[in-house]
Amino acid sequence: MEELVKAALQSGFSIAVASYLLVRMESKLEALTLAIRDLQAALNRSGAASS
């Protein structure tokens, strides 16, 4: 049990940093997804207008 606690404390900083980065990346990925959808809609509109 003591070894488990020691291992958790040693890797705690790494886990905290990884969690923080995942949360930050999630919001950026969401923004990129919305931008891609907007671009796709704009391309579809311009393609329909030129036909």
Question: pLDDT digits over 19-48, tens only?
Answer: 899 999 999 999 999 999 999 999 999 986
State which residues form the domain around 37: 25-51
Higher pLDDT, 30 or 3: 30
Distances (CA, A) of 8 to 4, 5, 20, 35: 6, 5, 17, 39
Give the pair of three-digit tokens for residue 3: 């070894």
Q: Biggest alpha carbon distance in the chain?
A: 71
The answer to whether position 16 is within a domain reads: no
The answer to whether position 48 is within a domain reads: yes
pLDDT-derived band at 49 (thresholds 50, 70, 90) equals low
Count of domains observed in the chain: 1
